[in-house]
Amino acid sequence: MNQENRSNQKLEFRNMDQDTIILGVIGADCHSVGNKILELFFTAEGFKVLNLGVMVSQQEFINAAIETNAKAIFVSSLYGHGDIDCQGFRDLCLEKVLDRILLYVGGNLVVGKTPFEIVEEKFKKMGFDRVFPQTST
Amino acid sequence: MRIAAIGLVPDLTLQLAKLAAMSAGGKVIASYSFSLTRSDIGYLENIQPDILLFSGGTDGGNSRYVLENARKLAASSLSCPVIYAGNRAAAEEVVDLMPAKEVIVTENLMPEVGQVNLEPAREKIRDLFLKRIVSGRGLSEIVDLFGTPPQPTPLAVFELISAIPQYQTDWSDLAAIDIGGANTDFYSNTESYLETDTVILKGIREPKVKRTVEGDLGLRVSAHSLADSGWAYLEERLKGLGLEVERLRKHLDKIALDLDYLPQSEEETLFDRLLAETCVYYAALRHSGGWRETYTPQGRVYVQTGKDLRRVKAIVGSGGFLAASGSAETMRRPLQKLRTYGQERKLLPEKPLFYADRQYLFSLLGNLVGKYPKEATALAVALLENLKDED
Ligand code: B12
């Protein structure tokens, strides 16, 4: 079964033997619509999705990822405090020996209209593997 | 039954392993998350638990830790049976890794994150428990006579508490507290989470029937540890009543050594009651869940952790001090005080009625529940004494 896959960091999600991915909206954020859509989408794409819903803390994401041996955590943030809520996420993962996990983040990551390139850089510096802009307006 | 519990993440599988152990009538004497260290193994070898409950990982999820820990346990001098209730995908390998141990495999305590499955492991612990009691204490004649082995008190009470709402429909949501010399047991039978738009549950959804046992809260052997754990509550009560701390200390020294000691004066009676209140306060604190408030534009939202006891309608003082004293106040006062704890609103019974199992029949009747559920539960509730407020 799912022995730890240590081969490489840049796993592409081609194989469909039901890798677990974790979804959730971080911090005190209650925007639930996008989260539900992501769940439907990734389930349809053949992933085993564990959706933690809204108002999820870093620790909750990490606890769930450890128990399930998840391949990736998809963090959403819509309400503008994403940079604060995500601070230290990668560090906490490393501390909890989740050293191979992919961290993606998306939504409305910062307050106001900061150019996406700057937002992206900021989150990559925090240790996120990929950063996604808001896709709906 | 002394149980060592092993899980992966403290808030998830370890928490469930502890709950399963306690709900099976056991006492958790050691608990570990993530990797066992050499000193953890040393400690386990030293205390030699009766059972090791071994979990970790969802089905198909993490197997690294259970495999690693299985290797370490295999190399240890631990002699007790091991109940494996972790990642199903790793079960066979776990068994193979521990050829010299008695490993009993059962269903995962947490097949998926958030999915709670305590019953199979509880059954296995129960079976071992009964087997050991019967063979260890030469009770086989009793078994021949009654057709079932005698159940130890906590297990019997658990079975009774599980069965009462099923057969006595007026008694749908109930709790019981048993304060003894060494432990305080708290039982509840009520839905742990009511899903609404304004309450979000975090962490595991706890089982409907739940037992917790607190080894540091007791009125005799554990009197000193009770004072340590419960000092905040005790001190405030002493102050309110104008009682001296020193005199309580003396009382504690006396009762911790003399396990059958009965209070000889009014003051000692009062001290015992304060200690009992303290047991109720901390046992309820640990058994019950809480809400924290957050504000959003939709209004207030509550984040719940742990079990919601608000709908509990009846609280039974069963066994030990509460059954004997028959005082509602000993339960009501600490529960009232506990309504808020730090930033949390504790989810305690809202308008409970208090009862005493005066004749200490719960554990006896619990023994009969398997065969005569209707009769045993009917008798149990009929014999409860409704406690009126004395002050
Ligand atoms: C509906 C809504 C609400 C509802 C939410 C109801 C609910 N239960 O979800 C309510 C009224 C409660 C609300 C409250 C607030 N809101 Co509001 N809300 C919106 C609104 C109008 C739509 C959000 C939505 O559902 N979009 C549709 C979904 C499908 O899109 P999505 O959420 O963006 O998600 C998609 C993508 O972003 C992407 N995605 C998201 N996460 C991730 C992650 C990964 C890894 C990937 C790959 C992709 C991805 O995929 C999703 C699916 O397509 C937006 C404005 C807007 N047009 O976006 C504001 C908006 C998000 N809200 C905003 C604000 C400020 C708030 C409040 C703080 C308001 C206040 N002052 O109190 C509160 C915060 C409450 C809280 N604690 O969370 C701001 C955020 C500003 C910022 N980030 O700079 C926005 C942008 C409005 C604005 N322009 O000012 N809000």
Q: Is the pLDDT of residue A136 over 70?
A: no
Out of B103, B129, B146, a domain closes at B146
Q: Note the pLDDT of residue A77.
A: 97
Helices B266-287 and B329-337 cross at an angle (nearest 10°) of 50
Residue B41 · residue B96 · CB < 8 Å: no
Query: Which of B118, B52, B63 has its CA nearest to residue B87?
Result: B63
pLDDT at B77 exceeding the cut of 80: yes
* Count of domains forming chain B: 2
Q: B391 in a domain, yes or no?
A: no
Whether B56 has its CB under 8 Å from any CB of chain A: the answer is yes
Q: Would you say residue B382 lies in a domain?
A: yes
Amino acid at B312: V
Delineate the domains of chain A, giving CATH numbers in brackets.
Answer: 18-79+92-133 (3.40.50.280)
Residue B328 sits in the same domain as residue B292: yes
Residues B222 and B323 placed together within one structural domain of the fold: yes
As a whole number, mean pLDDT of residues B222-240 equals 95
- Of the candidates A2, A4, A28, the beta carbon closest to that of B60 is on A2
Tell me the sheet residues that pair with B105. Answer: B84
For residues A89 and A13, which has the higher predicted lDDT (pLDDT)? A89
Looking at the structure, tell me whether residues B182 and B319 fall in a common domain. yes
A29 is an active site residue: yes
Interface of A with B in 9-48 (CB under 8 A): 18, 20, 28, 30
Q: Which residues pair with A130 in a beta bridge?
A: A104
Computed over every residue of chain A, the mean pLDDT equals 85
Average of per-residue pLDDT across B329-341: 96
| Closest among B86, B81, B161 to B120, alpha carbons compared | B86
- What is the H or E stretch that residue B333 is in? helix B329-337
User: Ligand 1: does its nearest atom lie under 6 Å from the Cβ of A106?
Assistant: yes
Res B176: pLDDT: 97
- pLDDT for the residue B388: 81
pLDDT of A134 higher than 90: no
Find the mean pLDDT for residues B175-183.
94
Average pLDDT over every residue of A64-69: 95
Residue B259: count other Cβ atoms within 10 Å of its Cβ.
12
Q: Are residues B262 and B300 in the same domain?
A: yes
Lowest mean pLDDT across B206-210, B298-302, B362-366: B298-302
Please check the confidence at residue B391 and state whether its pLDDT lies above 90.
Answer: no
Strand order through the sheet with A20-25: A48-51, A20-25, A72-77, A102-107, A130-132
For B90, the closest chain A residue by CA position comes to A1
Average pLDDT, chain B: 93
* Residues spanned by the domain of B99: 2-146
Set A17, A19, A31, A81: catalytic member:
A31
Reported as a single tens digit per residue, the pLDDT across B352-389 is: 999 999 888 999 999 999 999 999 999 999 999 999 86
Which pLDDT tens digit goes with each residue over B265-282?
Answer: 999 999 999 999 999 999
For ligand 1, whether the C-beta of A132 sits within 6 Å is yes
Q: Is B355 a member of any domain?
A: yes
pLDDT higher than 70, residue A127: yes
pLDDT tier, A17 (very low <50, low <70, confident <90, very high otherwise) = low
Asked which of B113, B129, B146 is the last residue of a domain, the reply is: B146
Q: What count of other Cβ atoms lies within 10 Å of the Cβ of residue A77? A: 24
pLDDT for the residue numbered B327: 85
So what's the pLDDT on residue B142?
A: 75
Range A101-114 average pLDDT? 90
Strand, helix or coil for residue A54: coil
Asked if the Cβ–Cβ distance from B61 to A18 is below 8 Å, we say: no
Nearest to A79 by CA among A123, A109, A51: A109
User: pLDDT category, A14, cuts 50, 70, 90?
Assistant: very low
The verdict on the CB of residue A30 being under 6 Å from ligand 1 is yes
- Reported in sequence order, the residue ranges of B131-270 that DSSP labels E, i.e. its strands, are 174-179, 184-189, 199-202, 209-214
Residue B79 lies inside a defined structural domain of this protein:
yes
The answer, yes or no, to whether any atom of ligand 1 lies below 6 A from the CB of A84, is: no
Sign of the torsion formed by the C-alpha atoms of B219, B220, B222 and B223: positive
Q: Is residue B27 part of a domain?
A: yes
Is the pLDDT assigned to residue A51 strictly greater than 50? yes
Residue A137 CA, closest ligand 1 atom number: 57
B194 plus B338 within the same structural domain: yes
In a domain, B54, yes or no: yes
Please give the biggest Cα pair distance in chain A: 45
pLDDT in tens, B189-205: 999 999 888 898 988 89
Residues B253, B197 share a domain: yes
Q: How confident is the model at residue A137 (pLDDT cuts 50, 70, 90)?
A: low
Same domain? For B132 and B35 the reply is yes
The tokens 């005799």 sit on which residue? B220
Annotation says A129 is catalytic: no
Contacts of A37-41 with CB under 8 Å at 24 or more apart are A38/A74, A38/A76
**Average pLDDT rounded to a whole number, residues B250-268:** 92
Of all protein residues, whose CA lies closest to atom 66 belonging to ligand 1? A79
Cβ pairs A/B, distance under 8 A:
67
pLDDT at B33 over 90: yes
- How far is ligand 1, taken at its centre, from the CA of residue B296, in Å? 13
Q: Which helix (H) or strand (E) holds B354?
A: strand B353-357
Look at residue B55 and give its three-state secondary structure: coil
CATH of residue B45's domain is 3.40.50.2300
Residue A9 has pLDDT above 50, yes or no: no
> Does B108 share its domain with B217?
no
- What percent of chain A shows pLDDT beyond 90? 69
Q: What is the DSSP-derived secondary structure letter of residue B90?
A: G
Give a yes or no: residue B316 inside a domain: yes
B79 or B146, higher pLDDT: B79
Phi/psi at A86 (5° precision):
-90, -10
The model's pTM: 0.86
Task: Judge if B159 and B307 occupy the same domain.
Answer: yes
- On the question of pLDDT at A58 being above 80, the answer is yes
Highest mean pLDDT among A80-84, A99-103, B28-32: B28-32
| Statement to judge: residues B212 and B348 lie in one domain | yes
A8 pLDDT exceeds 50? no
Evaluate: CB of A13 within 6 angstroms of ligand 1: no
| B139 and B163 part of one domain | no
Give a yes or no: residue B106 inside a domain: yes
Of B146, B164, B196, at which residue does a domain stop? B146
CA distance B306 to chain A (A): 15
Least confident of A69-73, A88-92, B320-324: B320-324
Residue A51's SS3 state is strand
| B331 and B210 in a common domain | yes
